[in-house]
Structure 1
Amino acid sequence: MRHVHAGGKLVVWRLDRLGRSLSHLVTLLEQLGRRDVRFQSLNEHIDTSTSGGRLVFHMMAALAEFERALISERTRAGMAAARAGGRRVGRRPSLSPQQCDEACRLMADEQWSLRDLGAHFGLHPRTVNRLLRIHTHGQEMFQVLSRSPDVSM
């Protein structure tokens, strides 16, 4: 791909020699088109220097877009079904509610800074700050955190 220059042509024996999937092939062919490089696949009789070849390419692009849309719809439907079944969707929180309680206690009782809490739990201090704000659901803890000298990292 690096050796093909504007005005040149990239020729492959079969499409599967060039890309891993239809969407990957479409992306590669779009990149070649932007570089003014024509493309030809000998087995599939695709040549982007001809109007028929460009038609086939655009049909492939439309199919790839359709495929991506179907995957996205299936993913959203699966997530909705999981939520309806009472399952949590997404990444697990970095701290459990018990750990958040412990962090709040350490800050209030033992005057631990966000940096100390981050080191203790293996997280960045900003992550600790965000999780504690979410955990407390109030502005009181956020105000305490924002007055902490270690908030600005």
Structure 2
Amino acid sequence: MWKLDRLGRNTRQLLDLVDSLESQGIYFRSLTEGITTTGPMGKAMLTVMSAFAQLERDQLAERTRAGLAAAAARGRKGGRPTVTPDSEKVRQAGQYRHAGLTPPEISKLLGVSRATVYRYLALVTDEANE
């Protein structure tokens, strides 16, 4: 394995996986950390290094949550900004689709992405079902 933290999401999962591999005669070796499970010292180091890797992941997640909460407290919202669809283009997309054009053809005509055309067509379908 290139790096220990790529093998499992937490210490327990990593140790269970290594035990499962060893029961099949397969030993673990981390190229980056230089750890191997062929002896008792390697297993001990694996446990310690895995615990530190999990601690690092947990701290990163905690800092991320704290940063998002601080941003939200300042009125900042994450993600892409919402865009109100152009009602004229939505109408045109529906007409083009009804005329038999494909979403890629419609996207070229309207100058929008194919994904946007699918969103427009979903809006047209929703309006028709109301």
TM-score, normalised to structure 2, is: 0.57
Q: CA deviation at 1:129?
A: 4.3
Q: Out of 21, 33, 45, which is 1:56 matched to?
A: 45
- In the alignment, structure 1 segments of 5+ residues that lack a partner are 2-17, 134-140, 147-153
Q: Out of 70, 80, 92, which is 1:106 matched to?
A: 92
The residue aligned with 2:114 is 123
- In the alignment, structure 2 segments of 5+ residues that lack a partner are 9-13
The residue aligned with 2:58 is 69
How far does the alpha carbon of each residue in 1:97-153 deviate from its partner, in whole angstroms, 9 at most, with x for none? 1x4333334357xx24382654421123434445x48xxxxxxx6142x6xxxxxxx
| Structure 1 range deviating more: 73-82 or 52-61 | 73-82
Identity percentage of aligned residues: 28
Contact 2:35 2:46 in 1 (8 A): yes
Distance in 1 (CA, whole Å) between partners of 2:87 and 2:30 is: 63
Q: Between Structure 1 and Structure 2, which shows a larger proportion of helix residues?
A: 2
Contact 2:27 2:36 in 1 (8 A): no
How well do the aligned residues superpose, as a CA RMSD in angstroms?
3.6
Matched, 1:37 2:27: yes
TM-score, normalised to structure 1, is: 0.50
The number of equivalent residue pairs is 108
SS at match of 2:80: coil
